[in-house]
Amino acid sequence: MPQHVLVPIDGSDHAFAGLEYCLTSFPEATVSALYVVDPSQDHEATAGSADTSLDRAEDRGERVLDRAVGLADDYDRELQTSLRIGTPHKEILEVTKTDVDHVVMGSHGQSPITRPFLGRVSEAIVRRAPVSTTVVPESTDAIRNRDLPGSILVPLDGSEQSIAALEYALETFPKATFTAFHALSLPFDRSRSEVRGTYLEDILDDREARAERIFERATTIADEHGTTIETATGNDGPTNAIVDFAQTNGYDQIVMGGHGRSLAVTLTGSVAERVSRRSPRTVTLVRGDPTSN
């Protein structure tokens, strides 16, 4: 489970929702809040003022960090803070090269872009962060009213990365309820009764058999952690199946492998990135050995 969590914060409600999620979900972790001043942006220069726009931006950053410290105080938690100057996503990524092992951030920040797209900074972190990342698309009020960790959907595709996500979820959130989910990705939209006796039934049998093998492994892992896990499948391709199932059934969060069956270095175009873009619930993308998260 995470030991040192970085929360990039820019003053937006989504950013503070990320901090709320972090303080609730990782009670034993060290938490650091980072504010990045972007010198390339116009920071509301005021005529006749002795302060530069950068000075005012730094002052605003300090106020935002002070507010973050106040929020941590409400949880009786200590919060490390830092302010850096530079390009936001580059500075955040630079900090992840230290002893940080997890990043939690709002999905949009100050960006005017809204779903189905991540904000410019959050998308860069999702694609390039070397550590596991949680994207929070909800408001602070929604996170406060959610009984976290709650119910967790864990999409599985048989890859070691998806198994790492399951291990992460079980180890990090022992009080949650879990459902292992597999997208069958059927090349047709018909029920079993409609395909019985055709070559399509063989495809369905093969996909369902694969799902059962994946679920057997997931159940064994859950047993080793002393917990139970439900299982479910969806007929659509992974992205639609995962997002629709989570939303329809009211899951509180999704935990999934960062790369799945792909060996790509980045998440560009991957199922993980598309789910983090589209999901109305918090999504955690797990990378690497779960014991290192």
Q: Do 168 and 118 belong to one domain?
A: no
220 pLDDT exceeds 90? Answer: yes
Does residue 264 register a pLDDT over 60? Answer: no
Separation CA 28–CA 221 (nearest Å): 24
Boundary of a domain, candidates 146, 181, 216: 146
Looking at residue 117, what is its pLDDT?
42
Domain stops at, among 146, 166, 196: 146
Burial environment of residue 242 by CB neighbours within 10 A (0 to 12, 13 to 18, 19 or more): buried
Report how far residue 54's alpha carbon sits from residue 193's, in angstroms, rounded to the nearest whole number.
67
**Does residue 291 surpass a pLDDT of 50?**
no
Please answer whether residues 11 and 64 qualify as being in contact, where contact means their C-beta atoms are separated by less than 8 angstroms: yes
**SS3 (DSSP) at 203:** helix
Does residue 187 have a pLDDT over 90?
no
- For residues 256 and 165, membership in a common domain is answered with yes
The span from the first CA to the last CA of the chain, in angstroms, equals 5
Whether residue 110 is predicted with pLDDT greater than 60 in this model: the reply is no
Of residues 108 and 165, more confidently modeled:
165
Domain end (from 113, 146, 179): 146
Place of tokens 């069958």: 184
Which of 66-80, 163-177, 179-193 is predicted with the least confidence, judged by mean pLDDT? 179-193
- pLDDT per residue as tens digits for the range 241-263: 999 999 999 999 999 998 644 44
Check pLDDT > 70 for residue 185.
yes
User: What is the pLDDT at residue 293?
Assistant: 47
Total domains, the chain: 2
Q: How confident is the model at residue 116 (pLDDT cuts 50, 70, 90)?
A: very low
**pLDDT at residue number 61:** 95
Residue 41's identity, in one-letter code, is: Q
The range of the structural domain enclosing residue 220 comes to: 148-293
Mark whether 180 and 138 lie in a shared domain.
no
| Mean pLDDT of all residues in 89-101 | 95
Tell me the pTM. Answer: 0.88
- The residue count of the chain comes to 293
In this structure, the answer to whether residues 111 and 185 fall within a common structural domain is: no
